Amino acid sequence: HHHDHHHHHDVPVTVLLSHMAEHNHSHLHELEHLAEHMEGEAKAKVLEAVKAYDEGNAKLAEALKLLEA
């Protein structure tokens, strides 16, 4: 899919952060699906990436809560 990287001067940072977290979440599911069709070290690396995405999304959610507080 295509990524549009425009300057979002008029969009609140919380909206952008929320959008990015949702976008990352969709990639997480795509990677999990790809890993189902792999074996060995390649599968392990993709599953590590899934874990990293998940951890990153948790940090984005924490940041969003702090910004919205």
| Eight-state DSSP code of residue 14 | H
Query: In a structure prediction context, what are the per-residue pLDDT tens digits for the chain, which is 69 residues long?
Result: 555 555 666 888 888 888 888 888 888 889 999 999 999 999 999 999 999 989 999 999 999 999 988
pLDDT of residue 55: 93
pLDDT of residue 48: 96
Is the C-alpha dihedral spanning 55, 60, 61, 63 positive or negative? positive
Burial of 49 (0-12, 13-18, 19+ CB in 10 A): middle
Is the CB of residue 57 less than 8 Å from the CB of residue 49? no
